């Protein structure tokens, strides 16, 4: 009976009464018996009655039981599966994969999509270069495996010659790809003590430049939100003020670090409700999120759908999972030219 109430409420956003349950869900019970069962569920904290003459609505506790134990997750339809395959297959190396994924998932689900990129410290590098700009200054250019680029000006105590930079780049070219920032720093720090010759001097220079480029680049998250206007289509977010408050809450990057860490700690789709979601988002919403992966299977970030507690979880959960998997595969394909040519 709880399953029926939650399912009906998701579909209609209206309180559910005993007549509706009898007519639509085929309970072979009298209306009086159904009312008694509904009353028991209310006393147990699973249902609430907005008005004495109205039906009942599920509580957060009911939704949690529904998500964890009762719902029957649907398969992604053949049409949606084909759309996912075609869309991610058409992305190229110039695509902003976060924004493209967000736009696609929002359009496919009819709900706002939120994507949180992993902290820089946990992302792996493709290349790291240093470009002279003026005396005692370099521009560091870090290219990550997910295609993002991070630039930073570095101020030097003494100038570095073009010959020294060339040697540094040769050394970096052998070790950068696939390493995180912390692993790269550790590599050069360890190597400094292994040599006492010219190589040690070069490693010290490389370490100092790597530290200058990566210090203070290890906190914070990048957030992409697509389809914000879809919030206005939900009765729970029926005002511009509530949508604005939610979007302002999503600007709190430090709070979203918790969401990122919780999602990356799991290999499956996660559903966050009520207080749990408010702790991570700063607003009472529901969030269905799954991790996506970078080259080599390293955690990249989280992709998900945000909306009211009354969300069509049996549809959204597999859709988010399929999108995260397709995004991971696209990142791997776009970062591996050989794989891309084989696929073509």
The pLDDT value given to residue 269: 94
CATH number at residue 34: 1.10.10.10
Q: Using the 3D structure, point to which of 214, 236, 265 is the last residue of a domain.
A: 214
Whether residue 240 is found in the same domain as residue 263: yes
Average pLDDT, the chain: 84
Per-residue pLDDT averaged across 306-315, rounded? 92
Residue 237's domain spans which residues? Answer: 78-119+219-343
| The pLDDT of residue 215 is above 60 | yes
Sign of the torsion formed by the C-alpha atoms of 62, 65, 67 and 70:
negative
**Cβ atoms 327, 97 nearer than 8 A:** yes
- pTM assigned to the model: 0.70
Residues 129 and 115 in one domain: no
**Could you say which of 214, 245, 265 is where a domain stops?**
214
Whether 255 has a pLDDT exceeding 80, the answer reads: no
The last residue of a domain, from among 191, 214, 237:
214
| 135-144, 278-287, 333-342: range with lowest mean pLDDT | 333-342
Residues 21 and 47 in one domain: yes
Pair 228, 325 in one domain? yes
Residue 69 pLDDT: 92
- Does residue 342 surpass a pLDDT of 60? no
Q: What is the pLDDT of residue 315?
A: 95
Q: Give yes or no for residue 5 having a pLDDT over 60.
A: yes
Question: Concatenated DSSP letters for 242-296?
Answer: HHHHHHHHTT-HHHHHHHHHHHHT-SS-EEE-HHHHHHHHSSS-EEEEEEEE-GG
DSSP per-residue string spanning 48-103? E-SSTTS-BEE-HHHHHHIIIII--PPPPPHHHHHHHHHHHHH--TTS-HHHHHHH
The pLDDT confidence band at residue 220, using thresholds 50, 70 and 90, is low
- Co-location of 279 and 305 in the same domain: yes
**Residues 237 and 90 placed together within one structural domain of the fold:** yes
222: tokens are 């990048």
Q: 138-183 pLDDT, tens per residue?
A: 999 988 876 777 788 888 888 888 999 999 999 899 889 888 887 8
* 11, 93: one domain: no
28 plus 147 within the same structural domain: no
Exposure class string for 267-280: b at 16+ Cβ within 10 A, else e? eebbbbbbebbeeb
H/E element holding 112? none
What was the pLDDT predicted at 321? Answer: 96
**Which residue has better confidence, 83 or 265?**
83
pLDDT of residue 222: 73
Residues 140 and 198 occupy one common structural domain: yes
Answer whether residue 200 shows pLDDT above 60.
Answer: yes
């Amino acid at each position: 009976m709880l399953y029926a109430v939650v399912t009906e409420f998701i579909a209609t956003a209206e309180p559910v009464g005993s007549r509706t349950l009898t007519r639509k869900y085929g309970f072979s019970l009298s209306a009086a018996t159904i009312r008694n069962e509904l009353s028991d569920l209310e006393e147990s904290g699973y249902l609430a009655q907005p008005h004495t003459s109205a039906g009942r609505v599920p509580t957060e506790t009911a939704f949690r039981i529904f998500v964890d134990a009762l719902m029957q997750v649907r398969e992604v339809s053949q049409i949606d599966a084909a759309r996912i395959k075609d869309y991610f297959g058409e992305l190229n190396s110039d695509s902003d994969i976060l924004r493209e994924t967000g736009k696609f998932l929002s359009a496919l689900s009819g709900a706002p999509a939120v994507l949180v990129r992993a902290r820089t410290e946990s992302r792996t590098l493709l290349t790291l270069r240093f470009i002279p700009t003026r005396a005692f200054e370099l521009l560091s250019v870090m290219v990550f495996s997910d295609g993002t680029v991070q630039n930073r000006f570095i101020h030097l105590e003494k100038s570095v010659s073009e010959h020294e930079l060339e040697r540094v780049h040769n050394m970096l070219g052998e070790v950068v790809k696939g390493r995180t920032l912390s692993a790269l720093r550790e590599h050069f720090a360890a190597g400094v003590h292994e040599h006492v010759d010219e190589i040690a001097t070069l490693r010290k220079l490389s370490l100092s430049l790597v530290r200058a480029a990566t210090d203070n680049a290890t906190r914070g998250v990048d957030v992409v939100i697509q389809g914000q206007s879809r919030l206005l289509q939900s009765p729970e977010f029926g005002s511009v003020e509530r949508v604005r408050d939610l979007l302002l809450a999503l600007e709190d990057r430090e709070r979203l670090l918790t969401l990122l860490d919780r999602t990356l700690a799991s290999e499956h789709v996660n559903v966050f409700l009520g207080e749990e979601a408010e702790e991570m988002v700063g607003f009472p919403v529901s969030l269905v999120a799954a991790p996506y992966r970078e080259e080599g299977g390293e955690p990249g970030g989280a992709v998900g759908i945000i909306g009211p507690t009354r969300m069509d979880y049996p549809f959204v959960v597999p859709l988010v999972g399929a999108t995260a998997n397709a995004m991971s595969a696209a990142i791997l394909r776009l970062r591996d030219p050989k794989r891309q040519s084989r696929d073509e």
